Structure 1
Amino acid sequence: MGFGDVLQQAIHAGTGVPRLWVAATRAGLGPSAAAEVLRLSQAALQAAAAHGRGVPGRTNAMRHFMWQAALTARFGADVAGSIAAAQEAGTPNRRDSRVDEHNNAAGRAHGAAHAADLADLSPRAAMASLVPVALAKWESGELVWVRR
């Protein structure tokens, strides 16, 4: 990976919060709901980091799954999918992005099927509920990763 690739990845990572905010508002969410998107995103990141580490790819797969499940339960699959597409736009690694899209879709399916259980939970409680599901889906091969 050359300097240009590293720089592009850093720029993509560094613009994540503004990109999520814009995607949420473009999907029709108001400021308080867009802020909730950011809280859910942070909670998914923290939960995946705490429970997914130690196995290559697991943290990222869990994060995408739990994030999209929670967003879908709260705001619907169309909004969650729109936000996910905006997050993946401009990614420097298309292979990684395709894997993220797979795990995002698994999360949306789970969030739609379990919206009644997840929709009213706090971000932290939603992630606590989703961690065992994500781990089970990882173990079964339903969540995937890119070998570098």
Structure 2
Amino acid sequence: MALGTLLDQALHSATVVPRLSAAAVRAGLGPAGTVEVLRISEAALRTAASEGRGVVGRTNALRHFMWQAVLTARFGLDAARSLAAAQEAGTPSRKDSAVDEHNNAAGQQYGAAHAAELQMGSPSEVMTLLVPVALEKWDSDELVWIRPH
């Protein structure tokens, strides 16, 4: 991979917290909502890293699905979409971004349909509840990666 591409990826990763914070403020979530968005984001990242490892692409797919499901349930579809767009802003890979958008939409649909159950508990507790759902969706090819799995 070219040095420029690696640098672009590193910069994109390093700026995620400011992008998400600004998007939460623009979505009208306020300070407490912004902190909750970051807690949900961290829980999705940690849980997906633990539960998705070992299969190329699975961690990323699980993370986006679970993250958007909880954001949709707790803040509504418009806010979740705004936060997803902020996450993808400036991404160095259009293919990866298209995959993320697909998995985000699956999470948004699930979050809207299961809002009541995803509003209860801490972000970590809710992510734990979502793991079997996300893995089932991965196994059935409802969640995708750049290459077929």
Normalised-by-shorter TM-score class: over 0.9
Structure 1 residue 34 and structure 2 residue 34: aligned? yes
1:119 Cα deviation after fit: 1.1
Matching of residue 136 in structure 1 with residue 133 in structure 2: no
Matched with 2:47 is 47
Give the whole-Å Cα distance in 2 for the aligned partners of 1:117 and 1:85. Answer: 25
Runs of 5+ unmatched residues, structure 2:
none
Measure the CA separation in 1 of the matches of 2:129 and 2:135: 11
Distance in structure 1 (CA, Å) of the matches to 2:52 and 2:79: 26
C-alpha distance in structure 2 between counterparts of 1:111 and 1:13, whole Å? 25
Q: How does 1:87-106 map to 2 (within 5 A)?
A: 87-106=87-106
* Cα distance in 2, alignment partners of residues 60 and 35 from structure 1: 22
Whole-Å separation in 1 of the counterparts to 2:123 and 2:81: 18
- Offset at 1:146? 1.1
* TM-score normalised to structure 2 length: 0.97
1:95-134 alignment runs, 5 A limit: 95-134=95-134
Displacement after TM superposition at 1:120 (Å): 2.4
Query: CA contact under 8 A between 1:74 and 1:120: conserved in structure 2?
Result: no
Give the Cα separation in 1 of the matches to 2:119 and 2:82: 18
The alpha-carbon deviation at position 45 of structure 1 amounts to: 0.4
User: Which runs of 4 or more aligned residues in structure 1 lie more than 6 Å from their structure 2 counterparts after TM superposition?
Assistant: none
CA distance in 2, matches of 1:64, 1:83: 11
5+ residue gaps, structure 1: none
State whether residues 5 and 92 of structure 1, in contact with CA within 8 Å, keep that contact through their aligned partners in structure 2. yes
One-letter code of the match for 1:116? Answer: A
1:43-95 Cα shifts (integer Å, max 9, x gaps) = 00011011000000000000000000000000001100000001101000000
- CA-based RMSD of the aligned residues comes to 1.1
CA drift at 1:101:
0.2
Distance 1:92 1:7 in 2: 10
Does 118-127 or 62-71 show the bigger shift?
118-127
